[in-house]
Structure 1
Amino acid sequence: MKLTAINVYDVDLPVVGTYRMSMTAITRLTSVVVELVTDQGLVGYGEVCPLGPIYQPQHVLGAKAAIEEIAPKLIGLDPTNILQLNRAMDAAMNGSRYAKAAIDIAAWDLAGKRYGRRVCDLLGGATGETVPTYYAIAVASPEEQARVAVEKQREGYRRIQIKVGGRDIEEDIEALRRIREALAPGMRIAADGNRGLTGRDTIFLSQRCRDIPLILEQPCSTLDEIANIKGQLCHPVYLDEVTEDVNIVVRSIADRLADGFGMKVTRVGGISAMRTIRDICEARNLPHTVDDNWGGDIIAAACVHVGATVAPRLFEGSWIASPYIEHHYDRENGPRIENGQIKVPTGPGLGITPDLSRFGAPVRTYG
C-alpha cells in the first residue's frame, strides 16, 4: 500500500454558547481534517483542532503550515507502517507534534481498515464496549457552576471538571464549596486552572478547601511554578497543558510533580505517542484521562479508542467536545454521550465515515 495523496480540509465548528476558561472564551473554532488516500482505494481520516491561539502555542494556521512542510515528503510511503511514517515526519520537520498528530491518527484509521480491526484492537484490546467520560463546567458564577454540576450528576456523569481562574480566588473557593455541598456522594471533582492561577492563589485554594476531596489540574503555567508550591498543597496535582511530549511526562514523573495527567492526544503527537504515555502511566501506577483540546467525531473517536485500552483503575475518562458542538461528521456513528458513558465505535479503524459534503473542497491537496 502506498500513499498517493493527502487532502486537507477546514471545518467550521461553532461552539454552543460560550466556553469560558481562565485565560480565554471560545465561541467558534476551526478544525483541520486530514484525509490520507492510498493506491488501494482505502482512505484514513485524522483531525487536529487547536483551542484558539491563546490556550496553548498550537494554532490552526500553524497546523496547516506544518502539514504543508511535511505532507509532500510522505507521498509514496506505506501509511500503515506507522512507526516509519512518524520517523519520516520527524525527519521532515522538527516539532509541531500537534500537526503530525492529525496524520498519525489518519494512519491508525487506515491500518484498522486495512486489517479489518478497530483501532482499540490494534492498541491491545478494549476493556469494555463503553468508556466513561466527564463534564467540564465553564467559568461562571458559583451558583451557576453548582447548578450545572447537579444537573450533570443527574445525567449520569461520575466526574466533573470545574474551570477555575480568571477571577478572584474567593469566587473559585465559593464555587467548589457550593458544588461539594450540592452533590450527592460518589461524584469526583477536578478543579482545572488551565494554567491561570498564581502559585499563591493555588495554595490559598488548596488549603482553604482541604476538606473537599478533589484534584488540582494544571493550576499554574509552568512545571517550575508547580515544583515551588507542590509541598504546600493539600490535594493531588494532575498535569495537563505542560505535558507537550513524552519526555516531559517522564521528567514530571521523575521529579515527583505529577500525581496524574490530563492528556491530550493531538498535543503529544497522536495515537502513537499516547499509547506510549498510557504504558508509562500504567508502569508507574498513575491515573490519567485521554482527551483532546476540541474537535469533531474524528478526534472524539481517537480519544475513545485509546481510552478503551487504559487499565480501568487508572482511567479518569475521555472528554469529548460533542456536548458543545451542534453537528456530527458521521450522523450514525459519531460518538455520543449517554448516562456518562461513550460507546466505543464498532467499525474498522476509527469507525467514523465523515460526510465530506460538510467539509467542502479541500483547502490543500498534496500528491
Structure 2
Amino acid sequence: MKVTQVNVYAKRLAMTAGYNMSSAAVGDPETTVVKILTDTSHVGWGEICPTGPLPQVEHAQSIQADLGLLGPALIGVDPERIGLVHDAMTAIMDGGHGARSAIDIACWDLLGKAHNRRICDLLGGARMDPVSTYHVIPIGTPETSAQLAETLQAEGHTKLQLKSGGRHVDEDIDAIHAVARVTRPGVDLFVDCNRGWTVSETLLVSQACRDLKLVIEQPCATYAECATARKHLHHPLILDESATDLATIARAISSGVADGFGMKLTRIGGISGMRAIRDLCHATNTPTSCDDSWGGDIIAAACVHVGSTFHPHLSRGAWISDPYQAKHYDDLHGPRIVNGTIAVPPGPGLGITIPDGYFGSPIASYA
C-alpha cells in the first residue's frame, strides 16, 4: 500500500451545550480533518481539534500550516509501516505534534482496514467494551453543580470532573463541598483546575477539603509549580496539561510528582504515542485517561479504541465531546455516551464511516 494523496479539511463543530473552565468558555471549535488516499480502495481518516478560544501551543491555522509541510512528504510512503511514516515526518520538521497525530490516527485507520481488524485489536485487544467515561461539571454555583452531579449519577456516570479556577478559591471550595456531599459511594470525583490556581491557592483548597474523597487535576500552570504543591497536598495529584511527552510522564512517575494522568491523544503523537504511555502506566501501576481536547467522531473513535485496551483498574475513562456536539459524522457508529459508558465502534480501523462529501471541498490537497 502506498499513499497517493493527502486531503485536509476544516469544519466548525457546532455546540448544543455550554462548556466552561478556569480560563475561558469553549465556543464552536474548528476541527482539522485529514484524509489519506492510497493506491488501494482504502482511505484513512485523522483529526485534530484544539479547544478554543484558549491559550495553547497549537491552533487550527498552525496545524494546517504544518500539514502543508507533512502532506507532500507522505506521498509514496507505506502507511501500514507507521514507524517509517513517523520517520518521514521527523525528517521534514520538529514539533507539529497535532498535525503528526492526525496523520498517525489516519494510518492506524488504514492499517485496521487493510487487515480487517479494529484498532483496539491491533493494540492487543479490548479489555473493556463499553469503555467508562467521565462527565464534566462546568464552573457554576454550588447549587447548580450539585444538581448536575446528582443528575449525572442517576444517568449512570461513575466518574465526575468538577471544573474549578478562574474565580476566588472560596467559591471553588464551596462548589467542591456541595458536589462531594451528593457524590455516591463508588463514584470518583476529580477537581480539574486547568492550570487556574497558584501554588498557595492549591494548598488552601486541599486543606479546606482535606476530609473529602477527591483527586486534584492540573491545579497549577507549570510542572514545577505542581511539583511544589504536591509535597503539601492532602489529595492525589493528576497531571494533564503538563503531561506533554513520554519522558516528562516517566519523570513524574519516578519522582512521585503525579499519581496519574489526564492524557490527550493528539498532544503526544496520536495512537502510537498513547500506546507507549499506556504501556508505561501499566508497568508502573499508574492510572490514566485517554482523551482529547475536543473533536468529532474521528477523535472520539480513536480515544475509545485506545481507552478500551487499558486495564480497567487503571483507567480514568475515555472522555469525548459527544454531549456537546450538534451532530455526528457517522450517525450509526459515531461514539456516544450511554449510561456513563461508550461502545467501541464495531468495524475495521476506527470503525466509522464518513459519508462522501461530508466535509465539503478540501482546503488543501497534496499528491
8 Å contact kept, 2:27–2:53 = no
- The yes-or-no answer on 1:12 pairing with 2:15 is no
Structure 1 unaligned runs (5+)?
none
Structure 2 counterpart of 1:154:
154
8 Å contact kept, 2:131–2:344 = yes
Describe how 1:336-347 pairs up with structure 2 within 5 A: 336-347=336-347
8 Å contact kept, 1:24–1:55 = no
Change (3 A) 1:244 1:356: farther
- Provide, for residues 225-263 of structure 1, a one-character-per-residue CA deviation record: whole Å limited to 9, x for no partner: 012121110000010011121121112222221100000
Aligned length: 367
- The yes-or-no answer on 1:2 pairing with 2:9 is no
Structure 2 counterpart of 1:125:
125
In structure 2, distance between residues paired with 1:190 and 1:80? 38
Deviation at 1:17, TM superposition (A): 3.0
Change (3 A) 1:356 1:144: farther
Deviation at 1:49, TM superposition (A): 0.2
In structure 2, distance between residues paired with 1:79 and 1:366? 15
In structure 2, distance between residues paired with 1:353 and 1:33? 14
8 Å contact kept, 1:56–1:241 = no
Deviation at 1:153, TM superposition (A): 0.3
Deviation at 1:356, TM superposition (A): 4.0
Structure 2 counterpart of 1:175:
175
Deviation at 1:145, TM superposition (A): 1.1
8 Å contact kept, 2:27–2:52 = no
8 Å contact kept, 1:137–1:145 = yes
Higher deviation after alignment, 349-358 or 20-29: 349-358
- Report the 3-state secondary structure (helix = DSSP H, G, I; strand = E; otherwise coil) of the residue aligned with 1:330: coil
Change (3 A) 1:342 1:48: same
In structure 1, distance between residues paired with 2:244 and 2:56? 10
Change (3 A) 1:156 1:91: same
- Report the 3-state secondary structure (helix = DSSP H, G, I; strand = E; otherwise coil) of the residue aligned with 1:175: helix
Deviation at 1:27, TM superposition (A): 1.7
- Please give the TM-score of this superposition, normalised by the length of structure 2: 0.98
Q: Which amino acid aligns with 1:132?
A: S
- Report the 3-state secondary structure (helix = DSSP H, G, I; strand = E; otherwise coil) of the residue aligned with 2:27: strand
Describe how 1:343-362 pairs up with structure 2 within 5 A: 343-362=343-362
Structure 2 counterpart of 1:294:
294
- Please give the TM-score of this superposition, normalised by the length of structure 1: 0.98
Structure 1 counterpart of 2:250:
250
Deviation at 1:54, TM superposition (A): 2.2
Q: Which amino acid aligns with 2:107?
A: A
Which has a greater percent of strand? 1
8 Å contact kept, 2:301–2:350 = yes
8 Å contact kept, 1:101–1:269 = yes
Structure 1 counterpart of 2:163:
163
Describe how 1:282-321 pairs up with structure 2 within 5 A: 282-321=282-321
Describe how 1:1-367 pairs up with structure 2 within 5 A: 1-367=1-367
8 Å contact kept, 1:16–1:27 = no
8 Å contact kept, 2:135–2:157 = yes
Q: Which amino acid aligns with 2:300?
A: A
Higher deviation after alignment, 114-123 or 125-134: 125-134
Change (3 A) 1:43 1:133: same
- Provide, for residues 124-155 of structure 1, a one-character-per-residue CA deviation record: whole Å limited to 9, x for no partner: 11113210011011111121111111100000
Tell me which stretches of 4 or more aligned residues in structure 1 moved more than 4 Å.
Answer: none
8 Å contact kept, 1:52–1:60 = no
Tell me the C-alpha RMSD between the 2 structures.
1.0
8 Å contact kept, 1:275–1:306 = yes
- Report the 3-state secondary structure (helix = DSSP H, G, I; strand = E; otherwise coil) of the residue aligned with 1:289: strand
